[in-house]
Amino acid sequence: MDRKPGRPRALTVDMIAQAALDDGIATFSMPSVARRLGVAHSGLYRYVTDRDELLMTALDRAVAEVSWPSADLEWQELLRAVGETIWQMCERHPGLDRAALSAPTSAPAAEVYVEQYVASIQHQGFELEDAAVAVEFVITLALSASAEMVRLNEIEARHKDGPKVPVIKAYDTDEVWRGRGWYDRKLQIVLAGLTTRHLTAPSGG
C-alpha cells in the first residue's frame, strides 16, 4: 500500500531498496517507489543517482536475504546448490529473473559468492576459466529458466479458453510446461559434460 504524503520521513538506502523490491523489481520506477514510501520523487535522488543504481542496490538486498551454499561443497553439489539459491530468489521476488538478466552489471553482493565458488571449483582440479564458466552458466541457466516459465505460464493463460497452443512435439510435455521446465534436464547435461571434460583434462590443467 502506498504511504500517504505528509511530513518528510527519514529514509535510508536499505528502505528505498526494499520499497523497490516490494513494488516489483522488474517494473518499479522512481516515482512508484517514492509513492510507496510517501515521499517526493526528487527526494530519492539524495540516496541513489538513478534507477540503475537503485536496481543494483535492490538486487544486492535480494542476494543478502537468502542463504548461499558453502564453497567447501563438492563441485557438482555446489553448482546444484547455487542454482537452488537463484531459484529461491526468483520465487521470493517475482521479476527478479528478468531484472538480473537485464541489469547493467552483476550485483556486487553476488560477486563475492561467485569469486568463492570459482576458487573452490578451481581447487578441485578445474582450469580457472572452466570454473568461472561453470558458475556463470548455472546462475544464468536458473535465471533464464525462471523467466521462461513465467513466459510459458502467460502463454497458457492467454489460451486457456481457446485453441491449444501449437507446439513442436518434443516440447509438448508436462516437463516443459510445468514446475521448472527443462532446468533440471539442462543442468544434468551440463554437469555430465563438465565431468567428462574434467576427467579428460591433462594432469595439472
The whole-angstrom separation of Cα 98 and Cα 43 is: 27
Q: Please say whether the beta carbons of 96 and 86 come within 8 A.
A: no
Nearest to 193 by CA among 134, 115, 146: 134
Total-model pTM: 0.88
Under the banding of pLDDT at 50, 70 and 90, the label for residue 7 is: very low
One-letter-per-residue 3-state SS of 88-127: HHHHHCCCHHHHHHHCCCCCHHHHHHHHHHHHHHHHCCCC
pLDDT, mean of residues 20-35: 96
pLDDT, residue 160, reads 76
Residue whose C-alpha cell is 541457466:
141
67-200: same fold as 13-60? no
Where does the pLDDT of residue 23 fall: very low under 50, low under 70, confident under 90, or very high at 90 and above? Answer: very high
DSSP letter, residue 29: -
Q: Which residue has the higher pLDDT, 69 or 200?
A: 69
Provide the angle, in degrees to the nearest 10, between the axes of the packed helices 30-37 and 51-65. Answer: 60
CATH of 67-200, one of 1.20.140.10, 1.10.357.10, 3.10.105.10, 3.30.420.40: 1.10.357.10
Query: What's the mean pLDDT in 123-131?
Result: 95
The domain over range 13-60 is classified in CATH as 1.10.10: yes
Give the start-to-end residue ranges of the domains of the chain. 13-60, 67-200
Q: State whether residue 150 is helix, strand or coil.
A: helix
Q: Are 137 and 190 in contact, with CB atoms under 8 Å apart?
A: yes
How close are the terminal C-alpha atoms of the chain, in Å?
Answer: 56
pLDDT of residue 98: 96
Quick check: helix, strand or coil at residue 194?
helix
